[in-house]
Amino acid sequence: MGKLQGLLFALATVVLVVVSTAYFMKPWMPPLLSDRGDIDHAIWVALVLTGVVFILTNLLLAWFSWRYQDAEGARAIYWHDNPKLEWTWTLVTAAILFVILFNALGLWASINGPAPADAALVEVTGQQFAWNVRYPGKDGILGRTDFKLASQENLIGLDPADAAGKDDVLLLNQLYLPKDRAIRVRVRSMDVIHSFFLPQFRVKQDAMPGMVTEVWFTAKELTPPDKPLEIACAEHCGLGHYRMRGQVHVVAASELDAAVAAAAGQ
Amino acid sequence: MATHAAHAEHAHAPQAFIWKYVFSKDHKVIGIQYYVTAMLMALVAGLLAMLIRVQLAWPEKDYTWLGKIFPMGYDVGGGFGVMRPEFYAMLFTMHGTIMVFFVLSTAPVSGFGNLLIPLQVGARDMAFPFLNGLSYWTFLPGCLVILASFFVESGAAAGGWTSYPPLSALKGAVPGSGTGQTMWIIGMVFFIASFTMGGLNFVTTILNLRTKGLSMFRLPLTMWAMFLVAILGLLAFPALVAACIMLVFDRHYGTSFFIPAQIALNNVPLLTQAGTPLHQGGSPLLWQHLFWFLGHPEVYILMLPALGFTSDILSTFSRRPIFGYKSMVLAMCGIGFLSFIVWGHHMFVSGMSPYLGMAFAVGTILIAVPSAVKVFNWLATLYRSRIRFTTPMLWAMGVISLFISGGLSGVWLAQAGPDIHLHDTMFVAAHFHLIMAGAALFGVFGATAYWFPKMFGRLMSEPLGKVHFWFTFITYYGTFFPMHYIGIAGHMRRIYDPYQYEFLKPLQPINELITMSALILGASQIIFFVNFFWSAFKGKKAGENPWEANGLEWTTQSPPPHGNWPGEIPEVHRWPYEYSNPDAPRDHVMQHEPAGAAAGH
């Protein structure tokens, strides 16, 4: 009975290692369409490093459970300390993690760094259960909004008294991105917390009521006109959370204004 | 003299059923009460998980039959039944809430903590037996309030187990944000009050009631875990009580701790009749900080006891001293300390300052060091050991396996950059179900089989235990490991119908596979309940020390009598891990055996 259990455990562990590693080799990430390839790279490095540790520790676990079964009369070794060994594996682990940390902080800083000066601007306002998308129009300035003005006709409470808002272009659940030009996205919410998630662009930013948060990135590939990508909501926001979905189109930078205007005219 | 005192205590043991088994002050009875209550709550939370999984795999199917069982959860019309989205939100909210607080904090900590602390430190009972009884009778109303909340109008809370405002603060934001959310808050306050009483008892008992010779560095690692867990609970839970009370004020008395001014719900601005904002100056981020200030130490409150059980079980059944005892203690202290400075890693993309994100990434990555040390020590303990593969040993091996699998994905998530893509996806669900929920659950199953003699004086059935282990081990991985893949593919959490999204449609076959595995996992737990109740009444009688283990709990009868030792409390002469000492006549030397029995600690 005992022997069988150890063998089974070893076998199960080896199967786990083989199957899970084989599946991790598959391309699970959605195709990358933005300049945030560094995130993919960091994930890939993490996969390789943790994968090696996963395989080694599990193989040891499998080997020990198969090899060191109880036998009549034999005693285990009496060995319960080895400061040199313990310091070694602690410091080696710490050193590897330090390198990971160093890279992670660099990546985080670059993602959150300032946007290029020529970046386009768009505002995305989540509300139960839709994404209001607003472009600043020719003046490049988003008009003032006031939540007190919000209504069925004025979803984000655009202030009609503000001249800068006259040429703002409002779209519902349609986001247009310029190819090869950075875009700043001002993320807001009208009601509860939502999360603006663009899987193919490695962008996710919570839309926090009472706050404006800005993220920026650059789209690198055009989307076919009949095959837009999706905006997803990644934060539970109520009963319609699962259908809070929008469409993303990447167009040539020079065609952005025309594409937005055409979408608004429809 | 001492024998005389013990006899006197014996005489004081209550005889009436109600004082002996219901309103008991005996730590063993209270421990079993906690444990059984938690396992019954687990049945409820597990059932909720089954409904979640069925919906995720086949949202398009006809659920008329489920609508008959859960009329509040399904719309049945025209011969076709579909789940209501708000019911789905309620399912995942209550699954998380019940599992985290009422099962996996309760069974290992309040259940086994109460059962084991006096037995392992050599005390007649906990330091404050009345407070101990009171803590259970504060916990139970919390459970009842949480269960009752399913039956109020518009159902139980549905804002996620984290109850982020404004969703949980504004009654119109989600069905369930009415009475259900109020009851969620009340249930939590009961739970926290009970946990605080327990924590005080744990710390006091472990510090003050240790028997002669039992220094802190001779404590079993389970005791170190309980000690640290109690401190974590005492320091972290007050933040959540404060947050809950603030949330009550926001919901009912017009304050604005968590609700900012700029809110228009269903296109109606929240204004007073005078046209001024109904709320002003609140921040939903404040709740997240308070919640996760508890929430992250809470993760370790679930896990540390399981890590302690694993160390003790591993040492017993590998017949080897635990490797690196002091580094194990230091690792647990390190994990406990670091758990207080990592909470912000739940908030990398919340809009919190990116500088803060950096600081939290540092703490989070650091916590991998003590975690890795624990794994290495366990592996070193197994090296050249003599493993007896009993049921408790299998569960302990399972904990190590899950701790490795779930821990490594933490290194991905701790780096704030990758977390942008992985946050709030099924990858996170995979991560914490493996490491936190899985390790805690497997730890509880292992501890149940191991210390069952001290609960009921009998052994659990080994064949049933092994069958239960293998079904659970395989289907647990089958359920949670594939969630990594769909999470990397972008599959969000808490989605009632994933296939609304084009990019998630191809993932349906994997969701079906996960669900089938989950259903077998759920059904396998029947084996455990059968084994538990059958063995409690009909199992093989256990002697004092059926596993040939070393701890003090194995020096008394199974189950121990009121007062724990019929005679004097044993004195301690060494640590509890004296296995296979070549100078000793037997392969193990118990903690209480006089020094002549063996060289060594």
Domain limits for position B572? 546-601
Partner B contacted by A25 (CB < 8 A): no
Percent of chain A with pLDDT over 70: 99
Is there a domain that residue B254 lies in?
no
Mean pLDDT lowest for which of A154-158, A220-224, B7-11? B7-11
Q: Closest-CA residue in chain A for B322?
A: A80
Do A54 and A171 have their domain in common? no
**At B6, is the pLDDT very low, low, confident or very high (cuts 50, 70, 90)?**
very low
Contacts of B277 in chain A (CB under 8 A): 148
pLDDT of B510 > 90? The answer is yes
- What pLDDT score was predicted for residue B601? 46
Q: Which residues contact B391 (CB under 8 A, 6 or more apart)?
A: B446, B449, B460, B462, B465, B466, B469
Kindly state whether residues A167 and A64 are assigned to the same domain. no
Residues of B in contact with A234 (CB under 8 A): 423-425, 492-493
How many C-beta atoms lie closer than 10 Å to residue B195's C-beta?
26
**What is the full DSSP assignment across B184-201?**
HHHHHHHHHHHHHHHHHH
For residue B552, report the phi and psi dihedrals to the nearest 5 degrees.
-65, -30
Domain stops at, among B149, B177, B211: B211
Provide the edge-to-edge strand list for the sheet that holds A203-207: A174-179, A246-252, A229-233, A194-198, A203-207
Q: Taking CA atoms, what residue in B is nearest to A149?
A: B269
Q: Are residues A143 and A241 in the same domain?
A: yes
Q: Which of residues 203-262 of A touch B (CB under 8 A)?
A: 203-206, 208-211, 213, 229-230, 232-243, 245
The reply to whether A140 and A103 lie within a common domain is no
Distance from CA of B264 to the nearest CA of A (A): 6
Cα–Cα distances (Å) from B114 to B34, B165, B456, B556, in that order, read 9, 35, 15, 17
pLDDT at B5: 46
Residue B225 within any structural domain of the chain: no
pLDDT digits (tens, 9 = 90+) for B10-30: 556 777 888 888 899 999 999
Q: Judge: B387–A70 Cβ closer than 8 Å, yes or no.
A: yes
Residue B438 touches partner A, C-beta closer than 8 Å = no
Q: Inter-chain contact A242–B387, Cβ cutoff 8 Å?
A: no
Q: What is the mean pLDDT of residues B148-154?
A: 90
Rounded mean pLDDT of chain B? 94
Tens of pLDDT, residue by residue over B85-103, are 999 999 999 999 999 999 9
**Dihedral sign, Cα of residue B134, residue B104, residue B165, residue B88:** negative
Rounded mean pLDDT of B438-454? 97
Overall average pLDDT of the A105-117 stretch: 95
A2 band by pLDDT with thresholds 50, 70 and 90:
low
Pairwise CA distance, residues A206 & A187, whole Å: 8
Residue A76 within a domain: no
Percent of chain B's residues with pLDDT above 90: 91
Which DSSP symbol is given to B107?
I
Size of interface A-B (CB pairs under 8 A): 342
* Contact call for A68 and B490, based on CB within 8 A: no
DSSP state at residue B582: T
Residue B154 has pLDDT above 90, yes or no: no
In terms of domains, do A152 and A244 share one?
yes
pLDDT band of A70, cuts 50, 70, 90: confident
CA distance B137 to chain A (A): 34
Nearest CA in chain B to A108: B417
pLDDT greater than 50 at residue A1: no
Residue ranges of E strands in B84-182 = none
Question: Which residues of chain B have a CB within 8 Å of the CB of A103?
Answer: 415
B140 assigned to some structural domain: yes
Residues A147 and A103 placed together within one structural domain of the fold: no
Q: Are B173 and B86 in contact (CB under 8 A)?
A: no
Q: What pLDDT does B458 receive?
A: 97
B582 within a domain of the structure (yes/no): yes
The answer to whether A190 and A151 have CB atoms below 8 angstroms apart is no
Could you tell me if residue B127 is inside a domain? Answer: yes
Packing angle between helix B391-414 and helix B462-480, nearest 10 degrees? 20
| Rounded mean pLDDT, B359-376 | 96
- Shared domain for A14 and A43, answered yes or no, is yes
Structure confidence by residue, pLDDT tens digits, B379-425: 999 999 999 999 999 999 999 999 999 999 999 999 999 999 999 99
Q: What is the residue-averaged pLDDT of chain A?
A: 95
Residue A189 forms part of a structural domain: yes
Q: Are residues A99 and A125 in the same domain?
A: no
> Which pLDDT score, from 0 to 100, does residue B557 have?
95
**Record: contact A192-B492, CB cut-off 8 A:** no
Q: Could you tell me if A101 and A183 lie in one domain?
A: no
Å from B27 to nearest chain A CA? 33
Structure tokens of B462? 């080994």
- Report residue B596's pLDDT band, with 50, 70 and 90 as the boundaries: low
> Residues B342-352: pLDDT tens digits?
999 999 999 99
Question: In 3D, which of B116, B122, B113, B121 has the Cα closest to residue B195?
Answer: B113
Shared-domain flag, residues A167 and A199: yes
Containing structural domain, residue A106: 2-70+81-111
Q: Please tell me whether residues A142 and A213 are part of one structural domain.
A: yes
Instruction: Domain count for chain A, please give it.
Output: 2
* CATH code: domain of residue A170: 2.60.40.420
- The residues facing A207 across adjacent strands are A194
Is the backbone of residue B571 left (phi > 0), alpha (psi -120 to 50) or beta?
A: beta
pLDDT of B347 reads 96
Q: Would the pLDDT of A183 be above 80?
A: yes
Assess if residue A75 is contained within a domain. no
Rg (C-alpha) for chain A, rounded Å, is: 26
Angle in degrees, CA B376, A64, A2, rounded to 5: 130
pLDDT attached to residue B169: 94
Q: Is the pLDDT of residue B244 over 80?
A: yes
Of A76, A199, A209, the CB nearest to B260: A209
pLDDT per position as a tens digit, A199-242: 999 999 999 999 999 999 999 999 998 899 999 999 999 999 99
Question: 3-state SS of chain B: helix, strand, coil percent to 5?
Answer: 65, 5, 30
pLDDT in tens, B314-341: 999 999 999 999 999 999 999 999 999 9
A7 and A85 both lie in a single domain: yes
CATH code of the domain in which B33 resides: 1.20.210.10
Domains in chain B, number: 2
Distance from CA of A67 to the nearest CA of B (A): 8
Report pLDDT for B7: 46
